[in-house]
Structure 1
Amino acid sequence: MPPKPAISIDRAERRVSIDVHNPDFYRSPSSAYAEIHAHCPAFYWNEREQWYFAGYDQVNALLRDRRFGRQILHVATREELGIPSPKAHLRDFDALEEHSLLELEPPAHTRLRTLVNRAFVSRQIEQLRPDIERLSHSTIDGFERDGEVELLKTYAETIPVTIIARMLGIPVEATPNLLDWSHRIVRMYVFNPSHETELDANQASADFADYLRTIIAEKRRAPADDLLTHMITSEKDGERLSEAELISTAALLLNAGHEATVHQIGNAVRTILQSGHAPKDLFSTEATTALAVEECLRFAAPLHIFQRYALLDLDLDDRISLRKGDKIGLLLGAANVDPRKFSDPLHFNPMRNEGANVSFGAGLHFCIGAPLARLELNLSLPILFQRLPGMRLKHEPEERDSFHFHGLERLDLAW
């Protein structure tokens, strides 16, 4: 029998089947996206049993549409919607998620984000420039003479996790544990995690929360000039964050503050080395660097799916009727390669200037760490290529079998 194709499309019914574990798909999802854009950019994904959207304009609009939200139980009960009870073996994972900025809607989201946002505005983030530059150089100093390196664990992980730990006021020597907990927790965000994955993520969540409780208690005893102390002491309308809110917010910032950036650094380095473009030209000025980084974010986005609930019954068109509580999937990676928005979208063009990508989302849940991630990319990538001008791929890197977080298993380089 011939192998089953990674994707099949019923154009008339706007139904799509995708085998997300087929290497033909996860190695190059953009090829599948091109088929979807050609036939049905809004489609019912058979395996997921819900509607998904791939077109740039629709994804951008639905990210901002207040008829949809990241949570649903603030407007309806589990019984009304037929949502099963929480799994007892995910109690600690659920507790860590309960007050996450990523999962909340106003007014809870507004209150939390207001207390955290000040640390992530561009003028505050710009003050981190010398720290990021020094860290980039000192990390390269550690492997430059070796003539080769596995970049993800040695460089791509080191920079974002160290910077976010310093911002929060968490000891840098704790970063190996932070990375371990984070990697185990984010495995929950793939389709159909196994029972073993759930148990492991729950244990990681419990350990992470216990560690953060210890750090929070230390900050209460001895306040410092860091983000965690700021969150502990700040007030809005006479209210402060509860310990549960502090733990959820700190965990989100630590996880989101490095997980996607690690993959983006790896994806960007691989893309540039394979593109045929001279890095010295891409990074010749701050302006060309910014364009190249935005093109890397568009062309090789690390996060491909963002899901939302319908908060009421509604019709999106004459074929798509949603009931309150229905989930929709927004394909950020597909929106970034929509030919209706970007010319020749499957081509890496570092001088492209055709509008914003949606790699950081949009609307209420636009990534709070976007200014930090952009600064880290705009500094760490040029420094890497300037310090190692002979850098090349040691061999063809292998993509991770993970659709949500599109990245590499490892990235071996030599010079």
Structure 2
Amino acid sequence: MVTAPAPVRQRIDRNVKPRVRWAFGHLLPRTVLQRAAGKGDLQGRLLEASRGGDPFPVFEEIRAHGPVYSGKYASVTTSLPVVREVLASNDFRAGFDASEVAGPLGRLFTWALDPTLLGPLEPPSLLVTEPPDHTRYRKLVTRVFSVRAVEKLRARTEIIAADLLDSLEGRDTVELVESYCTLLPVTVIAEVLGVPAGERERVLGFGAAAAPSLDLGLSWQRFRSVENALAEFSTWLGEHLERLRAEPGEDLLSQLVAAREDGVGLDERELKATAGLVLAAGFETTVNLLGNGVALLREHPDQLQLLIDDPSLWPNAVDEMLRIDPPVLLTGRSAVRDTVIAGQPIPRGRVFTTVLAAANRDPEVFTDPDRFDVTRANAKDHVAFSAGRHYCLGAALARMEGEVGLRALFDRYPELQTLPGARRRDTRILRGYDTLPVRLGPRARAAV
């Protein structure tokens, strides 16, 4: 067997392998689904309608086919009970197992993998790790990211929100995603990760560039930007972890570095994967929650007035926002063995798409499901944070940031109005605003 010279191998690693990864992970599924959509397949139409548009009419078409729709390339459900069943079932796994791709294509894909890239959709990320590794891993991480730990961050988050709003003083109109919705979660994430103040701008850049790694069908340019950001973040993170080991702080990452279960902690790759997941998933989803929440409240001023009159409704209001316009539209699983879901046989290897956003409007669970109601009694029954063993690690953090961030904004600017020019993100799985121009209006008078 002839081995290529080192310079040639380096060029292949730098130029050829990334193209193969992009083709398998984005170009091929995007092309296949676009063609399927053109032939009327609802799975394909769903992903195309989700791209910066309004996918909810397609969700209802899928719902009309019953609890499980059989598309050409995947089974799809919009039923909340079925979503929960699939996400909790041991008959399905998260992520993509390259070893199951047979023949030359499987060998090509395996050859192109880069084990140094630790994206949120690559093992050992909690999003795609399965038991028994997932059980050990999650047990350690959950202890650090508990509801109690997140509540300790609330006072600091309130200060961050107030400081960001102070920086907007004197401005009539602002682009809210850039000046507030983005800066609040990334500043909180920097605190969670123990990032020194002087390096937070750099971490913001990592987060903004890496967040699309959670999406499907990226362009080549966007894909390369994501991989470069993940590689740079991994290098920076290795140095940062060494600092935390030498001088641990009170941040959650320092606690995770020290966490042990039966004397065993997370190794370097697992620590990096967790930090990368917090950065990419925690950043993008909370930005979307804040932007979607602002838009919903301005579209429904009667609901905003209820919150002004009774601030105790804010936690429930955030769950209602997550229910009716979630930051993540869907998630997928693949069957690891032949099984049956809602009476329908699902063969081993079949992809199963659970449409979280549609399940959140399941008329069998939610009365008048398309109505935004901050007083809804069962608003918390949504699956915006997924379900089962892969339930979102940062759910408590996202809820707290959403509540603090939105309440602080409307407490200060109760007459805030959205302006023409709002634009949704050009993404298929993530749903949020790319731009959201607003007029702040007069500042609320301080209570006497």
SS in structure 2 of the partner of residue 315 of structure 1? strand
* SS state at 1:39 partner: coil
Does residue 170 of structure 1 match 2:195?
Answer: yes
In structure 2, what is the equivalent of residue 350 of structure 1? 374
The aligned runs of 1:5-404 (5 Å cut-off) are: 17-18=44-45, 20-22=47-49, 26-46=52-72, 49-71=73-95, 73=97, 78-79=101-102, 83-84=106-107, 85-86=109-110, 88=112, 90-93=114-117, 97-277=122-302, 279-316=304-341, 319-323=344-348, 325-355=349-379, 356-404=381-429
Q: Which amino acid aligns with 1:403?
A: R
The amino acid that maps onto 1:169 is G
CA RMSD of aligned residues (A): 2.8
The alignment covers a number of residue pairs equal to: 403
Q: SS at 1:146's partner residue? A: coil
Report the Cα distance in structure 1 between the residues aligned to 2:409 and 2:392, rounded to whole angstroms.
25
Unaligned runs of 5+ residues in structure 1 are: none
Deviation at 1:89, TM superposition (A): 6.9
For 1:312-345, what per-residue CA distance to the aligned partner results, in whole angstroms no more than 9, with x for missing partners? 122325544221x332111111111122221222
Q: Is the 8 A contact 1:303 1:404 kept in 2?
A: yes
Distance in 1 separating the partners of 2:202 and 2:403:
27
| Higher mean C-alpha deviation, range 110-119 or range 195-204 | 195-204
Q: Secondary structure at the match of 2:302?
A: coil
The one-letter code of the counterpart of 1:68 is: F
- Equivalence for 1:407: 432
Cα drift, residue 107 of structure 1: 1.8
The alpha-carbon deviation at position 87 of structure 1 amounts to 5.8
State the alpha-carbon separation in 2 of the partners of residues 281 and 89 from structure 1. Answer: 52
Conserved 8 A contact 1:7-1:18: yes
Q: Deviations over 1:266-308 (max 9, x none)?
A: 0010011011325242244453112211111111101011111
Tell me the secondary structure at the aligned position of residue 334 of structure 2. Answer: strand
| Contact 2:327–2:432 (Cα < 8 Å) also in 1 | yes
Aligned-pair identity in percent equals 29
Point out the more displaced range, 279-288 or 128-137: 279-288
The letter of the residue matching 1:406 is R
Verify the 8 A CA contact 1:280 1:386 in the aligned structure 2.
no
1: distance between equivalents of 2:101 and 2:44?
29
Local SS of the residue matching 1:346? coil
Structure 1 residue 365: Cα displacement = 0.9
Q: Call closer, same or farther: CA 1:205–1:405 in 2, change over 3 Å.
A: same
Aligned twin of 2:7: none
8 Å CA contact retained: 1:18, 1:45: no
Structure 1 residues 353-382: Cα deviation after superposition (integer angstroms, max 9, x where no partner): 135110011111111111111111112111
Name the aligned partner's letter for residue 34 of structure 1: E
| Alpha-carbon distance in structure 2 between the residues aligned to 1:372 and 1:22 | 30
In structure 2, relative to structure 1, the CA distance for the partners of 1:92 and 1:168 (3 Å cut) is same
Q: Tell me the distance in 2 between the aligned counterparts of 1:181 and 1:86.
A: 27
Distance 2:201 2:163 in 1: 18
Q: Relative to structure 1, is the Cα distance of residues 72 and 36 closer, same or farther in structure 2, using a 3 angstrom cutoff?
A: closer
1:135 to 1:16, Cα distance in 2 relative to 1, 3 A = closer
After superposition, the Cα gap between the structure-2 partners of 1:95 and 1:337, relative to the gap in structure 1 and judged at 3 Å, is closer
CA shift at 1:41, angstroms? 4.4
Normalising by structure 1, we get a TM-score of 0.88
Question: Which structure 2 segments of 5+ residues have no match?
Answer: 1-33, 442-448
List per-residue Cα deviations over 1:377-398 (Å, max 9, x = no partner): 1121111111012210121512
- Shift, 1:141, TM fit: 0.6
Classify 1:77/1:132 alpha carbon distance in 2 versus 1 (closer, same or farther; 3 Å): same
Shift of 1:140: 0.5
1: CA distance between counterparts of 2:344 and 2:84? Answer: 20
**Cα distance in 2, alignment partners of residues 382 and 15 from structure 1:** 38
Describe the SS at the equivalent of 1:149: strand
Q: Report the CA distance shift for 1:133/1:15 in structure 2 as closer, same or farther (over 3 A).
A: closer
- Using the TM superposition, give the Cα deviation of residue 170 of structure 1 relative to its aligned residue in structure 2, in angstroms: 1.4
Deviates more, 1:307-316 or 1:381-390: 307-316
